[in-house]
Amino acid sequence: MRWMAIVLTIGAFVSSARADELPPEESAIQIHGFVSQGALVSSDNNYLAKSERGSLEFSEAGIAMTKQLDSRLRVGFQLFARDLGPTGNYSAKFDWFALDYRWRDWLGIRAGRTKLPFGLYNDTVDIDAAHAVVLLPQSVYSVTNRDFLLAQTGIELYGYRPLGELGALDYRAYFGTFHYEVRDTPVLQVVELEVPFITGGRVMWETPAEGLRIGGSFLGGAITGDFIQLGMPVSLRLEQTTYLASLEYTADSLVVSAEYGRAFSDTTITRLGMPAMTTPNSSESMYAMASYRLASWVQPAMYYSLVYPNVDMREGRNGRQHDAAISVRFDITPNWILKLEGHSMRGTASVQGALNAGEPLANRWYLAAAKTTVYF
């Protein structure tokens, strides 16, 4: 909230000083919003919500306000609330808020809470209207990682650089932190939890081949915490680096994308009177997706997504998650969309234990999802 106040105060000050540089059509406050309602039902395994019995706990709402203060400076924020199974519970939060100064096309700076540029779609993962599918490939864009991967509070540098015959470069880099909460459990009480830093960036090359862009993303960060476990103090430090290679090809109504990522983490646990113990882990994730707009109002899509949470333990249903999905998006009106989607799943690596406590998990299972969104 302190960051928010600083950003808006500076914005208001600069606005009063320089707003006369813009035509009124550009300097007007822009308000945009969306409301979504979805449904999930699975043949086995509760996924994201209590999906086995069918769940409507799949709602989102957001409202964004933006004001262009002069030709280089913009300020804005978005309030976002969601309910997805046990998470969200309609608690409205600032999704992002930022003061954005675009000094040159090749260099701008954003200060505040900004969405993380990671891969092709991470910073738009909540924006149903921007995608053909209900659930983006969960191997890379897991909704359960939203608290880690969505946004950071700090500084972001960005730019766009045409390269003549070689196309153009779009780049972003950031450094900051984020607020992260873990609830107490009967055996674990949280004393302190911090995110000392999160840093990363993304470079996308818009190649000379029409419609083809390729790029790479990096994200690194740490989480430290002090806990009381069964009456004994425990310290934890998690360090993780994640890399993602991206490719997207657009030709008329066809969009094809593929991404491949690796994540490496070290988790160090220190217990009173015992030496620190570090556990390394490495995961692998990938997907390929294609969509084709048959007409302005209908767009089928399909993807195949695969994740190995631990590359040293790929075997068994918990060691992997295969997800073959097919989806259709209907643009009923320019502001109202409906999506229907089916998933054929193999493995349970993405199934949350807390939603399935005490229940046997199935290796092969199916998920159907529907979502409708109104946006303006």
Contact criterion met (CB below 8 Å) for 246 and 257: yes
Give 42 or 114: the residue with its C-beta nearer to other proteins: 114
Distance CA 295, CA 322 (A): 30
Task: Rule CB under 8 A: choose which of 62, 85, 176, 261 binds other proteins.
Answer: 62
| Sole window of 6-14, 102-110, 174-182, 229-237 interacting with other proteins (rule: CB under 8 A) | 102-110
Running DSSP on this structure, what letter comes out for residue 294?
S
Residues in a beta bridge with 289: 257, 303
Task: Rule CB under 8 A: choose which of 334, 353, 359, 364 binds other proteins.
Answer: 334
Distance CA 222, CA 19 (A): 40
Total number of residues that touch other proteins (CB under 8 A) = 46
- What 3-state class would DSSP assign to 128? helix
Is residue 250 a contact residue for other proteins (CB under 8 A)? yes
Distance CA 371, CA 62 (A): 15
Question: How far apart are CB 124 and other proteins at their closest, in Å?
Answer: 4
Task: Rule CB under 8 A: choose which of 44, 74, 171, 219 binds other proteins.
Answer: 74
Cα atoms found within 13 Å of the Cα of residue 148, Cβ hemisphere only: 18
Is residue 91 a contact residue for other proteins (CB under 8 A)? no
Distance CA 223, CA 180 (A): 9
Is residue 247 a contact residue for other proteins (CB under 8 A)? no
Residue for token digits 């769940």?
A: 55
- What 3-state class would DSSP assign to 235? strand
335-374 binders of other proteins (CB under 8 A):
none
| Alpha carbon of residue 298 to chain centroid | 25
Q: What share of the chain is helix, strand, coil (3-state, %, to 5)?
A: 15, 60, 30
Minimal CA–CA distance to 178: which of 113, 131, 226?
Answer: 113
Is residue 102 a contact residue for other proteins (CB under 8 A)? yes
CB burial readout 173-184, b (16+ within 10 A) else e = bbebbbeeeeee
Is residue 126 a contact residue for other proteins (CB under 8 A)? yes
Give 159 or 216: the residue with its C-beta nearer to other proteins: 159
Is residue 124 a contact residue for other proteins (CB under 8 A)? yes
Question: How far apart are CB 113 and other proteins at their closest, in Å?
Answer: 9
| Sole window of 160-168, 173-181, 192-200, 220-228 interacting with other proteins (rule: CB under 8 A) | 160-168
Is residue 105 a contact residue for other proteins (CB under 8 A)? yes
Task: Rule CB under 8 A: choose which of 183, 275, 296, 312 binds other proteins.
Answer: 296
Binding stretches for other proteins (CB under 8 A): 21, 23, 25-26, 30, 32, 34, 62, 64, 66, 68, 71-72, 74, 76-78, 96-98, 100, 102, 104-105, 110, 114-115, 123-124, 126-127, 129-130, 160, 162, 168, 170, 210-211, 250, 253, 293, 296, 331, 334, 375
